Amino acid sequence: MRNYLHKLSLLILCSTLLGVHVRAQAEDIYIPRSNDREPWAPYIVELLQAALAKSPATTPDRLHWLETHMTQDRAFTQLRNNQKLDVYWSMTSQTREQGVIVIRIPLLKGLLGQRLLAIRPETASRFAQVRTLDDLRRDFRLGQGHDWPDTTIQQAAGLKTVTSSSYDTLYPMLQARRFDAIPLGINEIDDELRKHSDVDLIVEKNLALVYPAPVFFFVAPNKAALAARIESGLNRMLADGSFDAMFDKRWSKTLLSKNMKNRLIFQLANPLLSPETAEMIRRHPEYFLFPPKVDGNPTPASGLRQ
């Protein structure tokens, strides 16, 4: 499947370079409807549409949004079994890459691996006393989704986690002191706290958890031609600068860098990365706003200032 996808992508690209107008058949494409728990999902859909436009079919594609609140694990099962869902986007893991077509281009430039902490205001002074990862391991508990890759990553680093099957219940659980913080991507935490303004929470000012966590497009295994078009389109966007332009329209690189500055950074290993994804990260640091570390054991006894 991977060899076929690679050859098909090369054929589409070479045909364009040679001026031969060979176009794939238009597609009915089923994707999950953007939901409130992913404030960055409209950007992903826009990116998908732009990539398809860069590698167009004979007639316009027809996008269909599935109304679903399924868990991430359930979405991958549906994708893997060709059950209506054609394209899904998510943080990757070796398990998630099995049985689907993976397009290894980080859609969020690694931002979900830059985690800040949503906390209750009264605990800010406690977090300000953290100097080492052992302090965080010993004195705090983190709230996470039960099927998020982040949960395994943080547990592998020795951090205590409390999980919920429902994302939205994490916020009242934090307010009820079931745990002490929700780690959220630097690209989503402000939006999420605004959305949950009924709960009195703030962004912790001194710490960050950092690990390699690329978000990819995953395509159903019976949609190899579609996957080849998406990959080809994304590569063209990277080459002509339109990928960066779309990212910059959605997020300020200056503001993101400022939000990470002077924080105590705890680099965590990601044991869930496939060898192929780890190799992509090593070969393409330019794909990331903050290039992650994948070699050796990046978990330090004490943090490093950004």
What are the pLDDT digits (tens) for 154-187? 999 999 999 998 888 999 999 999 999 999 999 9
Domain 2-109+213-251 has CATH 3.40.190.10: yes
φ, ψ (nearest 5 deg) of residue 237? -65, -40
Least confident stretch, 8-17, 133-142, 150-159: 8-17
Q: Is the pLDDT of residue 20 over 90?
A: no
Q: Is the pLDDT of residue 19 over 50?
A: no
* Tens digit of each residue's pLDDT (9 = 90 or more) over 97-111: 999 999 999 999 999
Q: How far apart are alpha carbons 209 and 111 in whole angstroms?
A: 11
pTM of the shown model: 0.86
Positions of CATH 3.40.190.10 in the chain: 2-109+213-251, 112-211+255-270+292-305
Q: Note the pLDDT of residue 302.
A: 54
Q: Note the pLDDT of residue 14.
A: 47
Q: Note the pLDDT of residue 72.
A: 84
Least confident stretch, 49-53, 67-71, 240-244: 67-71
**Going by DSSP bridges, is the β-strand pair 28-32/62-66 parallel, antiparallel, or unpaired?**
parallel
The architecture in CATH of the region 112-211+255-270+292-305 reads 3-Layer(aba) Sandwich (3.40)
124: Cβ–Cβ under 8 A, 6 or more apart, which residues?
202, 204, 205
* Tens digit of each residue's pLDDT (9 = 90 or more) over 244-267: 999 999 999 998 998 898 899 999
Q: Is 17 exposed, middle or buried (0-12, 13-18, 19+ CB in 10 A)?
A: exposed
* Tens digit of each residue's pLDDT (9 = 90 or more) over 61-106: 899 988 766 778 888 999 999 888 999 999 999 999 999 999 999 9
Q: What is the pLDDT averaged over residues 229-253?
A: 96
